[in-house]
Structure 1
């Protein structure tokens, strides 16, 4: 019995000497408690990016151990490249800063666009509230009330953009090259909210951006008939827009249709990414990923999005990461064409 007792005592001592491993989140509660998490939005206030971020900021904190406060800061400029560069180069990777800018910044990196100072493959992806469904909308005053009217226009229609690499610009530039729609891109706006104002003032005829953003922020124009969605720049028709044609059906050749699929359809999926700086501790990444996913299912958040007329179709951080990496598998020939079309 004595040897057995010695063994039991030895095992007990070893157990007592083992470090205590807290469950995921418990060890980080003291870190997040009393802290403020900042969401940096790469667009101006009032647009879809800003609206989603503010709704998320209201509800996500309670799903994070320590219940931190979450605020939103807008950092528009250069087609959201300023926000992307800031998150990559300046932000401390401690889990207290979340970026929200277009995943289509990947195209900037892919073709070597000057000013690109980040590697989209190194960010930590939390998720996205929805895959975007880009559509092109115009004012009735522009005269572009249908795809046929657009094709028949005697002069290029003025369409507002945000900057190189932004999906709004990428969509418009791709359509200008891949279809026969006459287009003049006027870029440099700080987001879709300023673009809408310019459309209403008659400075622009239209633009292309996410349908959920269009219906949430341009509601009165749509309901009055002063705003009209003419084509859908997406892989399939939205249930809200059953009679509006798809842009890919207007591709002038097979290469054009391939580019529409790669740039626009692929960009729709990663457009509304939420992400963390590279080298953020993995345990904090997992905590925030889980909190983001729980926020997407939170009844109060769902009610908020319904009230704001915003859609929901959450995408996981892992799926965003896979999609971003997929861009880098595009053939070199297609990359060269992208550089010519989007930045030439």
Structure 2
């Protein structure tokens, strides 16, 4: 019995030492260095807003408290940044990417220009699950789904390019529930789409309610912007009267298009990730730091003030979701390709 107690005490001590050693190693590595977080879209948009808020609090949760800077690398609807993260960024834990999950669906469908493999990135987490809506200006004259369906001309919506929420959601809605839509792209980000809609160049756009209610708050409050349809399967309390797209889907194929083209992607739409080959120790350190940041009291206060919704997804969950995406049957992949990749 005594030998068993001694064995357990030794094992526990070993585990404790191992954890302390890992923390000390991470502290030694990150101390005095700079972690660069690269956002794939333009300053002022939803992705940028979330990332800059996270970036202001991330350092204190990384051992060694490195500096954290946020940069933007726009182009090709996020493909430019994803290719950079895959082919050029050093796998040392000092470069973190933030892009859009729809790009992995684009990879699955063989979209042009993609030089990355989403299955090989190391995922550290996401701050929220997106709930895409379509927001249109009062000037567009489209204030309801019924008016939209009756429109004599396609309604111009802004997009950032295939793989981006604004482009993909609009195309899936057009294909599944027959909303008359013309996607105008590429804009550098949702901030540019917002400006184009306000100038009358566009009728509006479709992207996350979490972003729209933050960045377009003044327009919503003044009644200049209306949320016309919600593309997720369940209603949201703060826009409870907005109709669901799935309620207008008349066939099983239409419902599956909504599920695989919007619902599933929205769950992993804001991934933060590291280049392939990053050591597992550093992946775990940054996963923990990211998760702890999203629970940080000062960050939560800033998120509330900025109207940023939080529904965290862990790095492990993202890894699983991306893996499952690549198991879709060929027939559905072909249909999604027909809808999402313009010819």
TM-score bracket for this pair, using the shorter chain length = over 0.9
Match of 2:127 in 1: 129
Number of paired residues?
327
Structure-2-length-normalised TM-score: 0.93
3-state SS of paired residue (2:115): coil
State the alpha-carbon separation in 1 of the partners of residues 192 and 128 from structure 2.
23
Quote the offset at 1:301 in angstroms: 0.4
Tell me, yes or no, if the aligned pair for 1:180 and 1:252 is still in contact at 8 Å: no
Match of 1:37 in 2: 35
Match of 2:298 in 1: 300
Q: Which residue, out of 186, 189, 197, partners 2:187?
A: 189
Does residue 81 of structure 1 match 2:76?
no
Distance 1:43 1:21, change over 3 A: closer
From the CA coordinates, give the structure whose radius of gyration is larger: 1
Match of 2:9 in 1: none
State the alpha-carbon separation in 2 of the partners of residues 23 and 176 from structure 1.
55
State the alpha-carbon separation in 2 of the partners of residues 314 and 90 from structure 1.
28
Deviations 1:162-205 (A, max 9, x none): 01111221111111111121111101000000000000000000
Tell me, yes or no, if the aligned pair for 1:57 and 1:72 is still in contact at 8 Å: yes
3-state SS of paired residue (1:24): helix
Quote the offset at 1:23 in angstroms: 3.1
- Pairing 1:4-43 to 2, within 5 Å after superposition: 22-43=20-41
Deviations 1:49-106 (A, max 9, x none): 0011001111010011100010000011111111110000010000000000001111
Structure-1-length-normalised TM-score: 0.93
- Pairing 1:275-286 to 2, within 5 Å after superposition: 275-286=273-284
Q: RMSD of aligned C-alpha atoms?
A: 1.4
Distance 1:336 1:46, change over 3 A: same
3-state SS of paired residue (1:240): helix
Quote the offset at 1:252 in angstroms: 3.6
Match of 2:5 in 1: none
State the alpha-carbon separation in 2 of the partners of residues 169 and 62 from structure 1.
36
State the alpha-carbon separation in 1 of the partners of residues 147 and 24 from structure 2.
60
State the alpha-carbon separation in 2 of the partners of residues 101 and 210 from structure 1.
14
State the alpha-carbon separation in 2 of the partners of residues 145 and 173 from structure 1.
19
3-state SS of paired residue (1:26): helix
Tell me, yes or no, if the aligned pair for 1:44 and 1:50 is still in contact at 8 Å: yes
Deviations 1:285-332 (A, max 9, x none): 000000000001000000010010010111100001111111111110
Match of 2:50 in 1: 52
Does residue 254 of structure 1 match 2:268?
no
Does residue 340 of structure 1 match 2:338?
yes
Quote the offset at 1:22 in angstroms: 4.4
Deviations 1:227-256 (A, max 9, x none): 000000112111111100011111242101
Q: Which runs of 5+ in 1 are unaligned?
A: 1-18
